[in-house]
Structure 1
Protein backbone atom coordinates (compact mmCIF):
# COMPACT_ATOMS: atom_id res chain seq x y z
CA UNK A 1 0.00 0.00 0.00
CA UNK A 2 1.62 3.24 -1.20
CA UNK A 3 0.93 6.60 0.45
CA UNK A 4 2.38 9.89 -0.77
CA UNK A 5 2.44 13.12 1.23
CA UNK A 6 3.00 16.02 -1.14
CA UNK A 7 3.40 19.41 0.52
CA UNK A 8 4.93 22.86 0.37
CA UNK A 9 6.56 24.54 3.35
CA UNK A 10 8.40 27.84 3.71
CA UNK A 11 8.83 28.44 7.44
CA UNK A 12 8.94 24.76 8.38
CA UNK A 13 5.55 24.49 10.07
CA UNK A 14 3.92 22.63 7.18
CA UNK A 15 6.95 20.34 7.12
CA UNK A 16 6.43 19.63 10.86
CA UNK A 17 2.86 18.62 10.11
CA UNK A 18 3.94 16.49 7.14
CA UNK A 19 6.38 14.60 9.38
CA UNK A 20 3.66 14.00 12.00
CA UNK A 21 1.24 12.79 9.32
CA UNK A 22 3.98 10.51 7.98
CA UNK A 23 4.58 9.07 11.46
CA UNK A 24 0.88 8.29 11.72
CA UNK A 25 0.92 6.54 8.34
CA UNK A 26 3.99 4.52 9.32
CA UNK A 27 2.29 3.35 12.51
CA UNK A 28 -0.02 1.24 10.34
CA UNK A 29 1.60 -1.92 9.01
CA UNK A 30 2.50 -2.42 5.36
CA UNK A 31 2.67 1.25 4.39
CA UNK A 32 5.18 2.31 1.74
CA UNK A 33 5.40 6.06 2.36
CA UNK A 34 6.98 8.90 0.40
CA UNK A 35 7.31 12.48 1.65
CA UNK A 36 7.50 14.75 -1.40
CA UNK A 37 8.26 18.41 -0.77
CA UNK A 38 7.37 21.00 -3.41
CA UNK A 39 10.46 23.17 -3.87
CA UNK A 40 10.98 26.54 -5.49
CA UNK A 41 13.51 25.11 -7.92
CA UNK A 42 10.77 22.80 -9.23
CA UNK A 43 9.02 25.89 -10.64
CA UNK A 44 10.28 27.52 -13.82
CA UNK A 45 8.59 30.66 -15.15
CA UNK A 46 5.62 29.91 -12.91
CA UNK A 47 5.20 26.31 -14.08
CA UNK A 48 5.81 23.25 -11.90
CA UNK A 49 8.25 20.87 -13.64
CA UNK A 50 9.02 17.93 -11.31
CA UNK A 51 7.69 14.89 -13.18
CA UNK A 52 9.10 12.49 -10.56
CA UNK A 53 6.63 13.82 -7.97
CA UNK A 54 3.69 13.50 -10.37
CA UNK A 55 4.74 9.96 -11.33
CA UNK A 56 5.02 8.96 -7.67
CA UNK A 57 1.43 10.11 -7.19
CA UNK A 58 0.42 8.12 -10.27
CA UNK A 59 1.66 4.97 -8.48
CA UNK A 60 0.20 5.77 -5.03
CA UNK A 61 -2.93 4.37 -3.43
CA UNK A 62 -3.39 7.51 -1.32
CA UNK A 63 -2.24 11.13 -1.47
CA UNK A 64 -2.19 13.57 1.42
CA UNK A 65 -1.86 17.19 0.32
CA UNK A 66 -0.36 19.91 2.55
CA UNK A 67 0.15 23.64 2.14
CA UNK A 68 0.50 26.71 4.30
CA UNK A 69 -2.32 29.20 4.06
CA UNK A 70 -1.20 32.48 2.52
CA UNK A 71 -3.66 35.29 1.91
CA UNK A 72 -6.61 32.95 2.39
CA UNK A 73 -5.53 30.11 0.10
CA UNK A 74 -2.76 27.63 -0.63
CA UNK A 75 0.72 28.93 -1.41
CA UNK A 76 1.63 29.95 -4.96
CA UNK A 77 4.10 27.07 -5.08
CA UNK A 78 1.42 24.54 -4.17
CA UNK A 79 -0.93 26.11 -6.72
CA UNK A 80 1.76 25.73 -9.41
CA UNK A 81 1.97 22.03 -8.51
CA UNK A 82 -1.83 21.70 -8.63
CA UNK A 83 -1.97 23.37 -12.04
CA UNK A 84 0.62 20.89 -13.32
CA UNK A 85 -1.79 18.04 -12.53
CA UNK A 86 -4.15 19.23 -15.26
CA UNK A 87 -3.85 17.88 -18.77
CA UNK A 88 -3.63 14.12 -19.19
CA UNK A 89 -3.75 13.30 -15.47
CA UNK A 90 -6.98 15.26 -15.06
CA UNK A 91 -8.43 14.54 -18.50
CA UNK A 92 -7.93 10.79 -18.21
CA UNK A 93 -8.73 10.77 -14.47
CA UNK A 94 -5.49 8.91 -13.72
CA UNK A 95 -5.88 9.58 -9.99
CA UNK A 96 -9.54 8.56 -9.77
CA UNK A 97 -10.46 6.41 -6.77
CA UNK A 98 -7.21 7.13 -4.92
CA UNK A 99 -7.79 8.05 -1.28
CA UNK A 100 -6.99 11.71 -0.53
CA UNK A 101 -6.74 13.96 2.52
CA UNK A 102 -5.23 17.31 3.40
CA UNK A 103 -3.79 19.68 5.95
CA UNK A 104 -2.92 23.36 6.20
CA UNK A 105 -1.41 25.77 8.70
CA UNK A 106 -1.82 29.49 9.24
CA UNK A 107 -0.95 32.02 11.91
CA UNK A 108 -4.46 33.01 12.96
CA UNK A 109 -7.26 31.09 14.61
CA UNK A 110 -9.13 31.38 11.34
CA UNK A 111 -7.00 33.12 8.72
CA UNK A 112 -9.19 31.45 6.12
CA UNK A 113 -7.37 28.13 6.63
CA UNK A 114 -10.62 26.30 6.00
CA UNK A 115 -10.66 27.82 2.51
CA UNK A 116 -7.23 26.28 1.86
CA UNK A 117 -8.47 22.93 3.09
CA UNK A 118 -11.49 23.18 0.81
CA UNK A 119 -9.14 24.04 -2.07
CA UNK A 120 -7.27 20.77 -1.42
CA UNK A 121 -10.59 18.91 -1.24
CA UNK A 122 -11.72 20.39 -4.56
CA UNK A 123 -8.38 19.51 -6.16
CA UNK A 124 -8.95 15.90 -5.10
CA UNK A 125 -12.53 16.01 -6.39
CA UNK A 126 -11.34 17.33 -9.76
CA UNK A 127 -9.25 14.17 -10.02
CA UNK A 128 -12.05 11.85 -8.91
CA UNK A 129 -10.28 11.02 -5.66
CA UNK A 130 -12.03 9.82 -2.50
CA UNK A 131 -11.63 12.39 0.30
CA UNK A 132 -10.97 11.30 3.87
CA UNK A 133 -11.67 13.84 6.59
CA UNK A 134 -11.28 13.63 10.33
CA UNK A 135 -13.68 11.66 12.47
CA UNK A 136 -12.74 13.61 15.60
CA UNK A 137 -15.48 15.79 17.07
CA UNK A 138 -13.30 18.81 17.81
CA UNK A 139 -15.13 20.10 20.85
CA UNK A 140 -13.06 23.28 21.14
CA UNK A 141 -10.88 22.05 24.01
CA UNK A 142 -7.50 23.74 23.42
CA UNK A 143 -5.65 20.66 24.66
CA UNK A 144 -7.61 18.10 22.65
CA UNK A 145 -7.00 16.75 19.13
CA UNK A 146 -8.82 18.60 16.33
CA UNK A 147 -9.17 21.57 18.64
CA UNK A 148 -10.07 23.91 15.75
CA UNK A 149 -12.86 21.53 14.75
CA UNK A 150 -12.36 21.05 11.00
CA UNK A 151 -13.98 17.79 9.92
CA UNK A 152 -12.81 18.11 6.31
CA UNK A 153 -9.18 17.66 7.33
CA UNK A 154 -6.53 19.25 9.50
CA UNK A 155 -6.29 23.01 10.03
CA UNK A 156 -3.64 24.28 12.42
CA UNK A 157 -2.61 27.58 13.95
CA UNK A 158 1.16 28.08 14.24
CA UNK A 159 2.28 29.97 17.34
CA UNK A 160 5.64 31.74 17.05
CA UNK A 161 6.64 29.43 14.21
CA UNK A 162 5.84 26.23 16.09
CA UNK A 163 3.09 23.64 15.98
CA UNK A 164 1.46 22.83 19.32
CA UNK A 165 1.27 19.27 20.63
CA UNK A 166 -2.52 18.74 20.17
CA UNK A 167 -2.14 19.68 16.49
CA UNK A 168 0.79 17.31 16.03
CA UNK A 169 -1.34 14.57 17.62
CA UNK A 170 -4.13 15.36 15.17
CA UNK A 171 -1.67 15.23 12.25
CA UNK A 172 -0.47 11.82 13.46
CA UNK A 173 -4.08 10.67 13.71
CA UNK A 174 -4.86 11.92 10.17
CA UNK A 175 -1.95 9.85 8.84
CA UNK A 176 -3.20 6.77 10.72
CA UNK A 177 -6.73 7.30 9.47
CA UNK A 178 -5.70 7.57 5.82
CA UNK A 179 -3.49 4.47 6.09
CA UNK A 180 -6.33 2.51 7.70
CA UNK A 181 -8.82 3.61 5.05
CA UNK A 182 -6.43 2.57 2.27
CA UNK A 183 -5.71 -0.73 4.02
CA UNK A 184 -9.42 -1.49 4.36
CA UNK A 185 -10.05 -0.55 0.73
CA UNK A 186 -7.15 -2.72 -0.46
CA UNK A 187 -8.43 -5.73 1.51
CA UNK A 188 -11.91 -5.28 0.06
CA UNK A 189 -10.52 -5.11 -3.48
CA UNK A 190 -8.49 -8.28 -2.92
CA UNK A 191 -11.54 -10.12 -1.56
CA UNK A 192 -13.60 -9.00 -4.55
CA UNK A 193 -10.90 -10.18 -6.98
CA UNK A 194 -10.78 -13.61 -5.27
CA UNK A 195 -14.52 -14.10 -5.58
CA UNK A 196 -14.67 -13.19 -9.26
Structure 2
Protein backbone atom coordinates (compact mmCIF):
# COMPACT_ATOMS: atom_id res chain seq x y z
CA UNK A 1 0.00 0.00 0.00
CA UNK A 2 1.36 3.42 -0.97
CA UNK A 3 1.52 5.86 1.92
CA UNK A 4 3.38 8.67 0.17
CA UNK A 5 4.63 9.71 -3.26
CA UNK A 6 8.02 11.27 -3.87
CA UNK A 7 8.72 13.04 -7.16
CA UNK A 8 12.25 13.60 -8.40
CA UNK A 9 12.59 16.43 -10.94
CA UNK A 10 16.01 16.81 -12.50
CA UNK A 11 17.96 18.05 -15.48
CA UNK A 12 21.01 16.25 -16.82
CA UNK A 13 23.14 17.70 -19.57
CA UNK A 14 25.38 14.71 -20.25
CA UNK A 15 23.83 11.84 -18.27
CA UNK A 16 25.86 12.14 -15.07
CA UNK A 17 23.13 13.89 -13.06
CA UNK A 18 20.62 11.38 -14.48
CA UNK A 19 22.60 8.59 -12.77
CA UNK A 20 22.48 10.58 -9.56
CA UNK A 21 18.71 11.02 -9.96
CA UNK A 22 18.26 7.27 -10.40
CA UNK A 23 20.26 6.68 -7.22
CA UNK A 24 18.02 9.14 -5.33
CA UNK A 25 14.98 7.27 -6.64
CA UNK A 26 16.47 3.92 -5.58
CA UNK A 27 17.08 5.24 -2.07
CA UNK A 28 13.54 6.60 -1.77
CA UNK A 29 12.14 3.30 -3.01
CA UNK A 30 13.80 1.42 -0.14
CA UNK A 31 11.23 2.82 2.29
CA UNK A 32 8.07 0.69 2.47
CA UNK A 33 4.97 2.46 1.24
CA UNK A 34 6.77 4.92 -1.04
CA UNK A 35 5.88 5.41 -4.70
CA UNK A 36 8.27 7.44 -6.87
CA UNK A 37 7.80 9.62 -9.92
CA UNK A 38 10.98 10.40 -11.89
CA UNK A 39 10.70 13.33 -14.29
CA UNK A 40 13.18 15.38 -16.25
CA UNK A 41 12.89 19.15 -15.94
CA UNK A 42 11.71 19.15 -19.56
CA UNK A 43 8.91 16.64 -18.81
CA UNK A 44 7.77 18.23 -15.55
CA UNK A 45 5.59 21.00 -17.04
CA UNK A 46 3.31 18.30 -18.50
CA UNK A 47 2.91 16.84 -15.00
CA UNK A 48 1.96 19.79 -12.76
CA UNK A 49 -1.02 17.81 -11.41
CA UNK A 50 1.09 14.81 -10.45
CA UNK A 51 3.64 17.09 -8.81
CA UNK A 52 0.81 18.81 -6.97
CA UNK A 53 -0.37 15.44 -5.65
CA UNK A 54 3.12 14.31 -4.56
CA UNK A 55 4.03 14.52 -0.88
CA UNK A 56 7.66 15.43 -1.58
CA UNK A 57 9.71 16.75 -4.49
CA UNK A 58 13.46 16.26 -4.72
CA UNK A 59 15.17 18.66 -7.14
CA UNK A 60 18.34 17.87 -9.07
CA UNK A 61 20.53 19.71 -11.57
CA UNK A 62 24.13 19.92 -12.66
CA UNK A 63 26.04 22.96 -11.50
CA UNK A 64 27.02 25.09 -14.47
CA UNK A 65 28.74 28.46 -14.07
CA UNK A 66 28.04 28.60 -10.33
CA UNK A 67 24.36 27.66 -10.35
CA UNK A 68 21.71 25.26 -11.66
CA UNK A 69 21.63 24.55 -15.39
CA UNK A 70 19.52 26.78 -17.61
CA UNK A 71 17.08 23.94 -18.36
CA UNK A 72 16.42 23.48 -14.65
CA UNK A 73 15.94 27.24 -14.23
CA UNK A 74 13.30 27.14 -17.00
CA UNK A 75 11.40 24.56 -14.94
CA UNK A 76 11.78 26.68 -11.78
CA UNK A 77 10.48 29.79 -13.48
CA UNK A 78 7.57 27.95 -15.11
CA UNK A 79 6.50 26.56 -11.73
CA UNK A 80 5.92 29.94 -10.15
CA UNK A 81 3.10 30.81 -12.53
CA UNK A 82 1.74 27.35 -13.35
CA UNK A 83 1.67 25.91 -9.85
CA UNK A 84 0.42 28.97 -8.02
CA UNK A 85 -2.17 30.05 -10.59
CA UNK A 86 -3.68 26.56 -10.99
CA UNK A 87 -4.25 26.02 -7.28
CA UNK A 88 -1.66 23.22 -7.20
CA UNK A 89 0.44 24.83 -4.50
CA UNK A 90 3.43 22.93 -3.15
CA UNK A 91 3.04 24.50 0.29
CA UNK A 92 3.97 22.11 3.13
CA UNK A 93 5.46 19.49 0.82
CA UNK A 94 8.84 18.02 1.70
CA UNK A 95 11.76 19.15 -0.51
CA UNK A 96 15.44 18.30 -0.96
CA UNK A 97 18.11 18.62 -3.61
CA UNK A 98 21.17 17.20 -5.31
CA UNK A 99 23.74 18.41 -7.80
CA UNK A 100 26.77 17.30 -9.79
CA UNK A 101 29.72 19.10 -11.37
CA UNK A 102 33.03 18.38 -13.03
CA UNK A 103 35.19 19.78 -10.25
CA UNK A 104 35.28 18.75 -6.62
CA UNK A 105 33.73 21.95 -5.33
CA UNK A 106 32.49 23.54 -8.51
CA UNK A 107 30.28 25.98 -6.58
CA UNK A 108 27.79 23.17 -5.91
CA UNK A 109 26.73 24.86 -2.67
CA UNK A 110 25.40 27.79 -4.70
CA UNK A 111 23.16 25.40 -6.64
CA UNK A 112 21.86 23.71 -3.48
CA UNK A 113 21.17 27.11 -1.92
CA UNK A 114 19.24 28.18 -5.03
CA UNK A 115 17.15 25.00 -4.80
CA UNK A 116 16.48 25.54 -1.08
CA UNK A 117 15.39 29.13 -1.74
CA UNK A 118 13.17 27.91 -4.58
CA UNK A 119 11.54 25.40 -2.21
CA UNK A 120 11.09 28.13 0.42
CA UNK A 121 9.36 30.35 -2.13
CA UNK A 122 6.83 27.56 -2.57
CA UNK A 123 6.47 27.12 1.23
CA UNK A 124 8.10 23.69 1.23
CA UNK A 125 10.05 22.04 4.08
CA UNK A 126 13.72 21.49 3.12
CA UNK A 127 15.40 18.26 4.26
CA UNK A 128 19.16 18.27 4.67
CA UNK A 129 21.58 15.42 4.06
CA UNK A 130 22.12 14.55 7.76
CA UNK A 131 25.53 13.02 7.16
CA UNK A 132 28.81 14.09 8.73
CA UNK A 133 31.52 15.14 6.30
CA UNK A 134 33.43 12.20 4.89
CA UNK A 135 37.07 11.96 3.85
CA UNK A 136 38.09 14.81 6.17
CA UNK A 137 40.81 13.12 8.21
CA UNK A 138 43.97 11.08 7.64
CA UNK A 139 41.84 7.93 7.92
CA UNK A 140 39.19 9.20 5.48
CA UNK A 141 38.70 7.65 2.06
CA UNK A 142 37.35 8.68 -1.32
CA UNK A 143 34.74 5.95 -0.82
CA UNK A 144 33.21 7.71 2.23
CA UNK A 145 29.63 8.93 2.02
CA UNK A 146 29.42 12.72 1.73
CA UNK A 147 33.08 12.79 0.74
CA UNK A 148 32.81 16.52 -0.13
CA UNK A 149 31.27 17.54 3.20
CA UNK A 150 28.00 19.08 2.01
CA UNK A 151 25.15 19.45 4.50
CA UNK A 152 22.37 21.05 2.44
CA UNK A 153 22.00 18.22 -0.09
CA UNK A 154 23.77 15.48 -2.02
CA UNK A 155 26.79 16.47 -4.10
CA UNK A 156 28.55 14.44 -6.79
CA UNK A 157 31.63 14.95 -8.93
CA UNK A 158 32.03 13.60 -12.45
CA UNK A 159 35.30 13.92 -14.34
CA UNK A 160 34.59 15.89 -17.49
CA UNK A 161 36.44 13.41 -19.71
CA UNK A 162 34.45 10.37 -18.50
CA UNK A 163 30.94 9.34 -19.46
CA UNK A 164 27.98 8.56 -17.18
CA UNK A 165 28.70 4.84 -17.42
CA UNK A 166 31.82 5.53 -15.28
CA UNK A 167 31.05 8.58 -13.13
CA UNK A 168 29.84 9.80 -10.71
CA UNK A 169 31.65 7.29 -8.47
CA UNK A 170 29.85 4.86 -6.18
CA UNK A 171 30.48 6.98 -3.06
CA UNK A 172 28.48 9.83 -4.60
CA UNK A 173 25.71 7.51 -5.79
CA UNK A 174 25.51 5.98 -2.30
CA UNK A 175 25.24 9.50 -0.88
CA UNK A 176 22.37 10.16 -3.31
CA UNK A 177 20.64 6.94 -2.22
CA UNK A 178 21.05 8.06 1.39
CA UNK A 179 19.33 11.37 0.54
CA UNK A 180 16.45 9.56 -1.19
CA UNK A 181 15.88 7.26 1.77
CA UNK A 182 16.11 10.14 4.27
CA UNK A 183 13.51 12.12 2.35
CA UNK A 184 11.27 9.05 2.13
CA UNK A 185 11.45 8.37 5.86
CA UNK A 186 10.86 12.04 6.71
CA UNK A 187 7.95 12.26 4.29
CA UNK A 188 6.30 9.19 5.80
CA UNK A 189 6.66 10.70 9.28
CA UNK A 190 5.19 13.97 8.06
CA UNK A 191 2.26 12.38 6.19
CA UNK A 192 1.40 9.95 8.98
CA UNK A 193 1.61 12.71 11.58
CA UNK A 194 -0.78 14.85 9.53
CA UNK A 195 -3.24 11.93 9.25
CA UNK A 196 -3.00 11.16 12.97
CA UNK A 197 -3.43 14.81 13.93
Q: TM-score of the superposition, structure 1-length normalised?
A: 0.88
1:93 touches 1:128 (CA, 8 Å); kept in 2? no
* Match of residue 182, structure 2, among 141, 154, 177: 177
Q: Does 1:60 align with 2:54?
A: yes
TM-score, length of structure 2 as denominator length? 0.88
- The structural deviation recorded for 1:180 is 0.1
Q: Which runs of 5+ in 1 are unaligned?
A: 43-49
Q: Count how many residue pairs are aligned between Structure 1 and Structure 2.
A: 183
1:109-164 CA-to-partner distances (Å, cap 9, x unmatched) read: 11111101111111001000000011100133322101111110011111223111
Secondary structure of residue in 1 paired with 2:50: helix
Could you tell me how far apart the structure 2 residues matched to 1:68 and 1:88 are? 24
Q: Please, which of 161, 165, 174 is the counterpart of residue 170 of structure 2?
A: 165
- The match for 1:46 is none
Kept in 2, the 8 Å contact 1:20–1:172? The answer is yes
Taking the aligned partners of 1:19 and 1:83, their CA distance within structure 2 comes to 24
Which structure 1 residue ranges, 4+ long, deviate > 3 Å from structure 2?
90-93
After TM superposition, the structure 1 = structure 2 runs for residues 3-152 of structure 1, keeping only pairs within 5 Å, are: 3-39=6-42, 51-87=45-81, 89-90=83-84, 94-140=89-135, 141=140, 142-152=142-152
> Which consecutive unaligned segments of at least 5 residues does structure 2 have?
none
